[in-house]
Amino acid sequence: MTVNIGPHHPATHGVLRLIVDLEGEVVRDLKPVMGYVHTGIEKSCEDKSYWKVIPFVERMDYVSYFFQAEAFCGAVERLVELEIPERAKYLRTIFLELNRIHSHLVWLGTTALDLGAISMLWYCFRDRDRVLDLFEMAGGQRMHTRYFQVGGVIEDIPLGFEAKLREFIAEMPTRIEQYQALLDRNEIFLRRTKGVGTVSRERLLELGVTGPLLRAAGEPWDLRKTFDHLAYPELDFKVPVGTVGDCYDRYRVRMAEMVESVRIAEQALDALPEGPHIADDRKYVLPPRSELSTSMESLIHHFKLVTEGYRVGPGEIYYAIESPRGELGCFLLADGSAKPARVHFRDPSFVNLQAFRDMSVGGYVADMIASLGLLDPILGGVDR
């Protein structure tokens, strides 16, 4: 029997359509059909100046928006060989880790909801709201803040941000422990996730899967540790790795990652250096507004940047970072004009979805739903 789990479905974590061949309750074959939220972001970016691309790409994987902004801004910065100041690196690291916590909270809330633990949704979203308050304090918006710009961050953190972040850092580990106390040894949760959706490490590597899924299967691969970028080389954190690679391991890996993210944010906040929050190079970065009334060059730079935008010389680059779902890569092809010639995102959800078939075939439909939740796809990233 072929069943269509249509794009409108509360358990598919977005508009994902699954065409499932069932034999009774056992899944024999599975085909994901994507593209229901495809809005042609990559094509639209080709018509926008570089700084206008940032709000576009933020909206691809709409839960981990800072990561897309960092992948794009980082790619441009490497292409034009622009160094960002130390303070900006640490601020970016803090926001990336806060975004990782935010993304994992959304994942935990929605996945636990799928498995029946409805209260988890409310607890996780309560904490998520605290993270969004921090983002709003610094960036002016709760989501898709356009806070990361090429050269650093658009504004320094306001007064009171540090105090509020320290409160969050102090309380979050207790909250995570409370969530673990609810789910870690809960019999229903264990029965739904233990031994479910296991895919071997070799198969995951073949399929190009990265992120918590790969780490749960035992491969300690984390781009924060392997490639030096931002403030990660100076911070001390562990990379949680699972053993079996089933859904329960994926859950434990993500919970441990949240704890590590809190530690990273705390260390980065303690070590936050003084200095400018954005680079000085007026060819790419807007001059401070106070200078516009006194300096003619600043006015000209401001005008050029706001009207045409900065030009990025011919070249191409691929820059990848560790998003909450895996390797998020940005391929940027620049042709020397003020608009990119090609912006392509190697989205982890898109590639990880290839493992879904391996996870579900041979198991029950209910196990398929559990696997999908713990795969953590975000359809905005899948479809772009």
Rounded Cα gap, residues 19 and 1, in angstroms: 10
Q: Which stretch binds another protein (CB under 8 A): 266-274, 277-285, 302-310, 347-355?
A: 347-355
Q: Is 29 in the site for another protein (CB under 8 A)?
A: no
In the complex, least distance from residue 208 CB atom to another protein, rounded to whole angstroms: 3
Q: Which stretch binds another protein (CB under 8 A): 109-117, 177-185, 205-213, 277-285?
A: 205-213
Q: Is 8 in the site for another protein (CB under 8 A)?
A: no
Q: Which stretch binds another protein (CB under 8 A): 91-99, 100-108, 240-248, 327-335?
A: 327-335
Candidates 290, 235, 281, 270; CA nearest to 85 is 281
Q: Which residues, listed in sequence order, are joined to residue 278 by a DSSP beta bridge?
A: 152
Task: Look at the block and give the residue holding tokens 């607890």.
Answer: 123
Alpha helices in the chain (DSSP H): 41-45, 50-58, 65-79, 86-115, 119-139, 161-183, 187-193, 201-206, 212-216, 223-226, 247-270, 296-307, 348-352, 355-360, 365-375, 379-383
Q: Is 81 in the site for another protein (CB under 8 A)?
A: yes
Q: Which residue of 14, 15, 42, 68 would you call a contact of another protein, by CB under 8 A?
A: 42
Cβ distance to another protein smaller for residue 34 or 183: 34
Q: Which residue of 292, 331, 364, 365 would you call a contact of another protein, by CB under 8 A?
A: 331
Instruction: Tell me how crowded residue 174 is: count the other CB atoms within 10 A of its CB.
Output: 8
Q: Is 34 in the site for another protein (CB under 8 A)?
A: yes
Q: Is 43 in the site for another protein (CB under 8 A)?
A: yes
Q: Is 340 in the site for another protein (CB under 8 A)?
A: no
Rounded Cα gap, residues 241 and 262, in angstroms: 17
* Binding mask of the shown chain, residues 185 to 204, with x at each position contacting another protein by CB under 8 A: --------------------
Rounded Cα gap, residues 63 and 182, in angstroms: 24
Helix (H) or strand (E) holding 316: strand 315-323
Q: Which residue of 208, 218, 276, 287 would you call a contact of another protein, by CB under 8 A?
A: 208
Rounded Cα gap, residues 356 and 361, in angstroms: 9
Got the DSSP string for 217-230? TT----HHHHS--T
Cβ distance to another protein smaller for residue 50 or 248: 50
Contact residues: another protein, CB under 8 A: 34-35, 38, 40, 42-44, 46-47, 78-79, 81, 205-209, 221, 226-227, 315-318, 320, 327, 329, 331, 333, 341-342, 344, 346, 350-351, 353-354, 383-384
